[in-house]
Structure 1
Amino acid sequence: MALTPSDVGRIAHLARLELDAAEQAAMLEQLNGFFAIVERMRAVDTTGVAPLYTPLSAVQEVALRLREDATAECIDREANQASAPAVQDGLFLVPRVIE
């Protein structure tokens, strides 16, 4: 999937970026290079390959360091809301954004 200069212009517009012609050309080259890498990776047959939880596990045995799940009541609501500009009845008050 190769992008066109108009695609880069649209992406820049959506991202609210102002790119001049040279920057758009450089971005086009970088994005198309990225998509070329993705296409090369898609071409590799990975059937039967188990996903790795860490790249290190491909070369050596890695023990998972898991801890026991335990519930604890550690929420200090007053401390968490101390820096809030407005709080009422334990809730954060925010400005209305939808009319």
Structure 2
Amino acid sequence: MNLTADQVRNVARLARLGLDEAQIADYVGELSTIVDVFAALERIDTHDVEPMAHPLDLTARLRADRADVDDRRQAFQAIAPATRDGVYLVPKVIE
């Protein structure tokens, strides 16, 4: 698909890019090539292909779900400027 210079200007405007007129011709060719690649990908038959989370079909190594750090909440709240009932108190910032 060959894009026009007006289409490239419109895309640049939507993306809030400032392009010089000298750059427009280069971008017409480059963006046309990108659109052609996506068009070729769209023609590939993927009807019998199952979706995968990873292209190498790897499985994640799982570990036991356990806490591995000490609970230091009391120590942190002891040095906080203001706490009450186990939570930190902060100044109101929205009226």
- TM-score w.r.t. structure 2 length? 0.60
RMSD: 3.2
Compared CA separation, residues 54 and 18, structure 1 to 2 (3 A) = same
Larger Rg: 2
Alignment partners' CA distance in 1, 2:22 and 2:37: 23
Alignment partners' CA distance in 1, 2:3 and 2:64: 49
Compared CA separation, residues 28 and 53, structure 1 to 2 (3 A) = same
The percent identity for this pair of structures is 32
Alignment partners' CA distance in 1, 2:28 and 2:48: 35
Note the C-alpha offset of 1:66: 4.8
> Structure 1: which 5+ runs fail to align?
82-86, 95-99
- TM-score w.r.t. structure 1 length? 0.58
Partner of 2:14: 14
The reply to whether residue 63 of structure 1 matches residue 25 of structure 2 is no
- Runs in 1 of length 4+ with deviation above 4 angstroms? 66-70
The reply to whether residue 53 of structure 1 matches residue 64 of structure 2 is no
Could you say which structure has the greater relative contact order, defined with CA pairs below 8 angstroms and 6 or more residues apart?
Answer: 2
